[in-house]
């Protein structure tokens, strides 16, 4: 908008000055000494500025009414894709869009989760199991709320809202939201938005699914401690729970299924030379191409960048980097 006003000002200045250019050639000599008639007052011509054409940019990412992110644990791309013990995951991969060059940010778990909603790892290099590692910085939820949208994270086996510890099956290192001071230290906000997974059933029944949903399985169903077939069955339960109410709205929606990290150090897209490995990411939506394989290099920052682009939110941290590719190829 500022750029447009700048050029309109320059245009107006040019048009005005064009009417007041100094005479380069001398005025012609009158043919006779007959005095010229008295000067009459001629109104100064007025110019109407022609507005510059307004260009409405075509959105690169659909304006989804709901975005759901489901994240599993510690499996490389080749461990998951075409693996017969994950039939449901691969059914989704063959039915919707699969990103086959998506790379995690780093190792271990926590900084990957942090990067997905904060655009940076903030110097965190471990799971902070013996330290707090709290972050006083804005994150995706702040931007979502500022835009008038809603969000919640549903944490499997979390004993109570805003719980800051660990249990046998719930671990806070898989819950990035609890590490951001603006969320954790605001008790009411924390209680309303960081909740056990069981709360999702109530929100579905009340037709109150938030615009942004972040779902973390517990340490078993995430495939961290248990077999892939259990993760696959858990995923099927969640998708079959979410699909009917989301699809019934008739509005665009997106479900992202991904992994926090792989087992290798593969890298791309401006990440460090040794990053978090290659992972399999699914995009499930009526707005994605069917049976589509997107080979564009992406990182976790690409997911955050794409969510931000869909909702017109500012880019946080490394989402603004040119090397962080926006996800555009899968949309119909």
Residue 78 has pLDDT above 90, yes or no: yes
Residue 63 has pLDDT above 70, yes or no: yes
Long-range contacts of 3-6 (CB under 8 A, 24+ apart): 4/52
The residue whose two tokens read 């869009």 is: 97
Encode pLDDT of 301-311 as tens digits. Answer: 999 999 999 99
Which pTM does this prediction carry? 0.83
Residue 37 has pLDDT above 60, yes or no: no
Residue 158 has pLDDT above 90, yes or no: yes
User: What is the domain partition of the chain in residue ranges?
Assistant: 77-320
Question: Which range (3-7, 40-44, 216-220, 271-275) has the least confidence?
Answer: 3-7
Query: What is the average per-residue pLDDT within 156-164?
Result: 98
Encode pLDDT of 167-210 as tens digits. Answer: 999 999 999 999 999 999 999 999 999 999 999 999 999 999 99
Question: Which range (18-27, 129-138, 262-271, 285-294) has the least confidence?
Answer: 18-27
Q: Which two tokens stand for residue 146?
A: 């500022």
Average predicted confidence (pLDDT) for the chain = 87
Query: What is the average per-residue pLDDT within 319-332?
Result: 97
Domain at 77-320, CATH from 3.90.420.10, 3.40.720.10, 3.40.190.10, 3.40.50.2000: 3.40.720.10
Residue 38 has pLDDT above 60, yes or no: no
- The share of the chain scoring above pLDDT 90, in percent, equals 81
Give pLDDT, residue 22.
34
Three-class secondary structure assignment of the chain: CHHHHHHHHHHHHHHHHHCCCCCCCCCCCCCCCCCCCCCCCCCCCCCCCCCCCCCCCCCCCCCCCEEEEEEECCCCHHHHCCCCCCHHHHHHHHHCEEEEEEECCCCCHHHHHHHHHHCCCCCCCCCCCCCCCCECCCCHHHHHHHCCCCEEEEECCCCCCCCCCCCCCCCHHHCHHHHEHHHHCCHHHHHHHEEECCHHHHHHHCCCCCCEEEEECCCCCCCCCCCHHHHHHHHHHHHHHHHHHHHHCCCCEEEEEEECCCCCCCCCCCCCCCCCCEEEEEEECCCECCCEEECCCEEHHHHHHHHHHHHCCCCCHHHHCCCCCCCCCCEC
Encode pLDDT of 92-127 as tens digits. Answer: 999 999 999 999 999 999 999 999 999 999 999 999
Give pLDDT, residue 59.
81
Give pLDDT, residue 58.
52
Encode pLDDT of 240-286 as tens digits. Answer: 999 999 999 999 999 999 999 999 999 999 999 999 999 999 999 99
């Amino acid at each position: 908008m500022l750029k447009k006003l700048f050029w309109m000002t320059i245009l107006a200045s040019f048009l005005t000055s064009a009417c007041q250019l100094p005479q380069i050639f001398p005025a012609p000599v009158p043919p006779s000494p007959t005095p010229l008639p008295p000067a009459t007052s001629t109104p100064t011509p007025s110019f109407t500025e022609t507005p510059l054409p307004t260009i409405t940019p075509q959105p690169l990412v659909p304006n989804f009414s709901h975005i759901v992110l489901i994240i599993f644990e510690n499996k490389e791309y080749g461990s998951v894709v075409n693996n017969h013990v994950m039939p449901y995951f691969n059914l989704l991969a063959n039915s919707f869009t699969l990103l086959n060059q998506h790379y995690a940010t780093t190792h271990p778990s926590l900084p990957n989760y942090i990067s997905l909603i904060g655009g940076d790892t903030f110097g965190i290099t471990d799971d902070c199991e013996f330290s707090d590692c709290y972050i006083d910085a804005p994150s995706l939820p702040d931007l979502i709320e500022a835009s008038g949208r809603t969000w919640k994270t549903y944490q499997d086996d979390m004993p109570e809202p805003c719980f800051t510890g660990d249990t046998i099956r719930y671990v806070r290192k898989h819950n990035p939201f609890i590490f951001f001071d603006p969320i954790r230290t605001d008790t009411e906000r924390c209680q309303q938005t960081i909740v056990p997974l069981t709360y999702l059933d109530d929100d579905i029944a009340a037709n109150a699914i938030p615009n942004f949903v972040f779902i973390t399985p517990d340490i078993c169903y995430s495939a961290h401690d248990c077999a892939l077939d259990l993760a696959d069955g858990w995923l099927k339960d969640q998708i079959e729970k979410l699909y009917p109410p989301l699809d019934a709205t008739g509005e665009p929606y997106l479900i992202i299924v991904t992994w926090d990290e792989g087992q290798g150090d593969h890298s791309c897209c401006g990440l460090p030379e040794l990053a978090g490995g290659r992972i399999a990411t699914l995009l499930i939506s009526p707005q994605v191409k069917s049976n589509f394989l997107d080979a564009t290099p992406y990182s976790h920052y690409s997911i955050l960048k794409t969510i931000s682009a869909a909702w017109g939110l500012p880019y946080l941290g490394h989402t603004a980097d040119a090397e962080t590719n926006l996800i555009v190829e899968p949309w119909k």
